[in-house]
Amino acid sequence: FFIAGKKAYEVERSLRFNDNDNAHLSRTPSGAGNRKVWTWSGWVKRGNIGLSQNATMLHAYDGSSSNRGSIQFNTSDQLKVDQGGGSGSSKGQAVTTAKFRDISAWYHIVVRANYSDSTASDRVKVYVNGTEQTLTFNVAYTDENGQINGAFEHEIGAVESTNSLFDGYMAEINFIDGQTYDPSYFGATDPTTGQWNPKKYGGGYGTNGFYLNFSDNSGTTATTLGKDSSGNGNNFTPSNFSVSAGVGNDSVEDTPTNNFCTLNAVAKGSGVSLSQGNLGYNSSGREGVVGTFAVRSGKWYWEVTASDVGADTQVGIYDNTDGKGFPTSYLGVNTSSWGVISSTGTTIHNTSQASYGSSFSDGDILMVALDMDNGKWYLGKNGSWYNSGNPASSTNPAHSGITSGTGLISPAISNNTENNMDYQFNFGQRAFSYTPPTGFEKLNSANLPDPTIKLPDKHFETLLY
């Protein structure tokens, strides 16, 4: 998914769902559509995984706790589809045998329902990135109506507003009332790279069908952020989203056609908590986290907002030379990490500290420039670079001579004391507060160099025994 470059069809925006905010969309159709035949297609990028509750993409129920139709990730990170509508139990439920725990990737999910099919095992089919998934049927699907597409409340991102919340990003959501379509209607394989990419759906939607592309971020109303672009006017009401500038902005440019770096939920210490679509960092111990992107060349810029500075935080970069995947102590403790300390503004590398800038304060916006072409990195604050540094002219860096044992350097943050703090990252998925230095890019897939090997399975492939 790190294939660089532009695609034929560009998805412009996604909507960030922060489970801590109870963020979700809701709509109650005025009348029932086809409750036996429908298709749901959406692109999702997960934030939190391994949760104690399900993570919901779509939920519908008639007010009875036992009558629920849904599309969710379960607590084992499998996709689960409930028919709902049973008397005291679900009419049908299936889960994928596969688990979906990649928080750096966009997944394209298609669910086809045809409860009228004479074969019970064919009544629901699930596809991920164009590939049909093997299902385990916990409860056989019936040939009766399900809850989805009924004349009662439907929610995207939650169950009853506060439960089974989805954390991450969603984009390009299509719901087709009365038709069952395979993934080829919504995506296609790039013949050069083998990558599954979005394509514009060109068919009809039926009475209750809708298309949410989240392109109108002029407000957080049903006719702006929740607008149905299918032409049906089946708008959804947003709850607990923001489009205001700053760290709370949930309308972002991280999409399946231009994937952005986030913090890595599977490469962090046990005391680290991530939020805001894996852009928010909090830690209760001497532990850190790295970004989902790692680079060996190029010039890159990102920003970090110190919402709550804490006593001793280090903002910087990390090289996975030690093979641990993330800082298990503080940045700068060894030769594979470089940082700037929040309480003093000094640099630190291999435990050696040097005067560089000033301490961080709550509300400060830190600017980070990583120049892998010249082996240097820089840090600044609120529009000014520390020590009169100039990334564009390659002068006065925080550290120079940066090389990597693995050839790859990641954004990173760590904490050296057992206290709580909050930092919010921005790799360019929302507007920067300050203009990047000349020649420095956002950290996203469109700016990565094209790989030499475009079809990896020509050189490497798994063999199952």
- Model confidence pLDDT, tens digit, residues 141-182: 999 999 999 999 999 999 999 999 999 999 999 999 999 999
Q: Give pLDDT, residue 64.
A: 75
- The pTM (predicted TM-score) of the whole model is 0.94
Are 181 and 55 within 8 A, CB to CB?
no
Are 237 and 226 within 8 A, CB to CB?
yes
CA–centroid distance for 92 within its chain: 29
Task: Count CA within 13 A, CB hemisphere, residue 42.
Answer: 25
Whole-number Å distance between alpha carbons of 330 and 385: 23
DSSP lists the bridge partners of residue 315 as 340, 413
Q: Give pLDDT, residue 2.
A: 36
pLDDT, tens digit, 9 for 90 and up, residues 175-195 = 999 999 999 999 999 988 889
Q: Give pLDDT, residue 187.
A: 97
Is pLDDT above 60 for 89?
A: no
User: E strand or H helix at 454, and its extent?
Assistant: none
pLDDT, tens digit, 9 for 90 and up, residues 357-387 = 999 999 999 999 999 999 999 999 999 999 9
For the CA atoms of 157, 159, 160, 166, the dihedral, rounded to the nearest 10 degrees, stands at: -30
Are 170 and 15 within 8 A, CB to CB?
yes
Is the pLDDT higher at 67 or at 378?
378
pLDDT, tens digit, 9 for 90 and up, residues 5-19 = 445 799 999 999 999
Q: Give pLDDT, residue 287.
A: 84
Which tokens hold the place of 64? 């009875």
Q: Give pLDDT, residue 149.
A: 97
Q: Give pLDDT, residue 84.
A: 86
Whole-number Å distance between alpha carbons of 406 and 322: 9
Whole-number Å distance between alpha carbons of 198 and 8: 9
Which tokens hold the place of 77? 């990170």
- Residue 301 dihedral angles phi and psi, to the nearest 5°: -135, 135
DSSP lists the bridge partners of residue 196 as 189
Q: Give pLDDT, residue 7.
A: 55
Strands (DSSP E) along 87-204, which ranges? 93-96, 107-114, 124-128, 131-132, 135-139, 154-156, 168-177, 187-189, 196-198
Is pLDDT above 60 for 337?
A: yes
How many CB atoms within 10 Å of residue 66?
A: 13
Mean pLDDT of 279-304: 92
Are 13 and 205 within 8 A, CB to CB?
no
Mean pLDDT of 414-443: 93
Whole-number Å distance between alpha carbons of 189 and 156: 27
Whole-number Å distance between alpha carbons of 332 and 213: 42
Whole-number Å distance between alpha carbons of 293 and 465: 32
Mean pLDDT of 10-36: 97
Work out the pLDDT band at 111, boundaries 50, 70, 90.
very high
Is pLDDT above 80 for 273?
A: yes
Q: Give pLDDT, residue 416.
A: 84
Which tokens hold the place of 204? 């009809």
Whole-number Å distance between alpha carbons of 89 and 92: 9
Percent of the chain's residues with pLDDT above 70:
95
Are 395 and 387 within 8 A, CB to CB?
no
Mean pLDDT of 34-56: 95
Burial of 130: CB neighbours in 10 Å, binned 0-12, 13-18, 19+: middle
> Of 55-69, 258-272, 341-355, which gets the smallest average pLDDT?
55-69
Burial of 237: CB neighbours in 10 Å, binned 0-12, 13-18, 19+: middle
Q: Give pLDDT, residue 465.
A: 87
Mean pLDDT of the residues in the chain: 92
Which tokens hold the place of 201? 């759906």
How many CB atoms within 10 Å of residue 194?
A: 13
Are 449 and 297 within 8 A, CB to CB?
yes
Is pLDDT above 90 for 114?
A: yes
Is the pLDDT higher at 397 or at 65?
397
Q: Give pLDDT, residue 353.
A: 97
- Residue 79 dihedral angles phi and psi, to the nearest 5°: -75, 135
Percent of the chain's residues with pLDDT above 90:
81
Is pLDDT above 80 for 420?
A: no
